[in-house]
């Protein structure tokens, strides 16, 4: 039988290792990252939401390229260093699109693509698929396009 002091120490250690609440995964669309990088009015709310979940921020690898500027846009550098550094500071994990996400992205394009009121492009549809498969049906985004889908906004969930 373990000694009472060992049992107490073990219980304290277990309590310290437990999360205070379950881990949450946040699916992030490129529009939220671009809003932060450009200092748009929503940037503070997006930043606060991202910092609330330090470990669970993710973006579809298929949408990350949308965060990089066009060569002649304000703040752009030919090598993309400024935006690349800022993107890394946001701390989002890149999630490669698997067969299931690709299927969901194509279905989303049929349901919510350019020909519908949501007007999602294919990159948006990969963000949609990531939120559907990993984000619990919620996505951090800017604008009204995703509001016309069946996803929830991460800002409203916070």
pLDDT tens-place string over residues 66-102: 776 554 455 555 555 555 555 555 567 788 889 999 9
pLDDT of residue 71: 47
Tokens standing for residue 137 = 């049906």
Tokens standing for residue 66 = 């949308």
Tokens standing for residue 64 = 């990350």
Contact 35, 142 (CB under 8 A): yes
Query: What count of residues does the chain have?
Result: 158
Q: Give residue for tokens 């999360």.
A: 19
DSSP string, 69-136: PPTTSTT--TT-HHHHHHHHHHTPEEE---HHHHHHHHHHHHHHBTTSTT-B-HHHHHHHHHHHHTST
pTM recorded for the entire structure = 0.72
In a domain, residue 139? The reply is: yes
Please give the radius of gyration of the chain, using alpha carbons only, rounded to the nearest integer: 19
pLDDT of residue 16: 47
In a domain, residue 5? The reply is: no
In a domain, residue 44? The reply is: yes
Domain count, the chain: 1
pLDDT of residue 33: 86
In a domain, residue 10? The reply is: no
In a domain, residue 147? The reply is: yes
Q: What is the CATH number of the domain that holds 55?
A: 3.40.50.1010
In a domain, residue 13? The reply is: no
Which residue numbers in the chain have pLDDT < 70?
1-24, 54-55, 68-91, 157-158
**What is the average pLDDT value for the chain, to the nearest integer?**
77
pLDDT of residue 91: 60
In a domain, residue 88? The reply is: yes
Range of 33's domain? Answer: 26-69+80-153
């Amino acid at each position: 039988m373990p000694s009472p002091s060992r049992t107490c120490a073990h219980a304290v250690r277990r309590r310290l290792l437990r999360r205070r609440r379950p881990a949450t995964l946040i699916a992030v669309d490129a529009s939220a990252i671009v809003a932060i990088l450009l200092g748009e009015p929503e940037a503070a709310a997006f930043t606060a939401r991202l910092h609330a979940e330090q470990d669970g921020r993710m973006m579809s690898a298929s949408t990350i390229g949308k965060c990089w500027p066009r060569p002649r846009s304000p703040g752009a550098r030919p090598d993309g260093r400024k935006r690349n550094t800022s993107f890394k500071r946001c701390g989002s994990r890149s999630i490669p699109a698997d067969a299931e996400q690709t299927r969901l992205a194509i279905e989303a394009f049929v349901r919510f693509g350019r020909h519908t009121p949501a007007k999602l492009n294919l990159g948006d549809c990969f963000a949609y698929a990531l939120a559907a498969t990993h984000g619990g049906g919620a996505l951090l985004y800017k604008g009204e396009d995703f509001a016309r889908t069946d996803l929830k906004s991460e800002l409203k969930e916070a």
